[in-house]
């Protein structure tokens, strides 16, 4: 899978809500009511990641969640990252 150019990444980011291109990855952060809510959403995301066989670099502190997506094998951002970003957005919007 080939990496996307910076221009292509910026163009596609316009179709997503709240994601940025930071240090070579698509990045976003969310805040939830509490830890339980944050981890519940993480669990839903985890199943989707497994289904897509693509995994985030993510961190959680209590009610906050930070997610970074890139494609290690390709050493950049690919279609796989945008597909997963869109799925994550849909999971969070459905809350």
Our CB check for a second copy shows the closer of 46 and 74 to be: 46
How far is 24 from 13, CA to CA, in rounded Å? 13
Nearest approach in angstroms of CB 14 to a second copy is 27
Q: What does residue 4 show for φ and ψ, rounded to 5 degrees?
A: -95, 150
Nearest approach in angstroms of CB 23 to a second copy is 14
| Cα torsion 93, 39, 31, 18: sign | negative
Q: Which residue ranges make up the site for a second copy (CB under 8 A)? A: 35-36, 39, 42-43, 46, 49-50, 55-62
Nearest approach in angstroms of CB 61 to a second copy is 5
Our CB check for a second copy shows the closer of 15 and 43 to be: 43
Our CB check for a second copy shows the closer of 56 and 76 to be: 56
Rg of the chain taking only CA atoms, in angstroms = 13
The Cα diameter of the chain in Å comes to 38
């Amino acid at each position: 899978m080939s990496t996307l150019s910076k221009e292509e990444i910026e163009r596609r980011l316009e179709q997503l809500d709240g994601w940025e291109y930071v240090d070579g990855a698509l990045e976003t952060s969310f805040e939830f009511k509490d830890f339980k809510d944050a981890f519940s959403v993480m669990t839903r995301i985890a199943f989707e990641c497994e289904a897509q066989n693509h995994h985030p670099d993510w961190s959680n502190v209590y009610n906050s969640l930070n997610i970074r997506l890139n494609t290690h094998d390709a050493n950049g951002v690919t279609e796989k990252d945008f597909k997963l970003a869109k799925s994550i957005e849909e999971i969070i919007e459905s809350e």
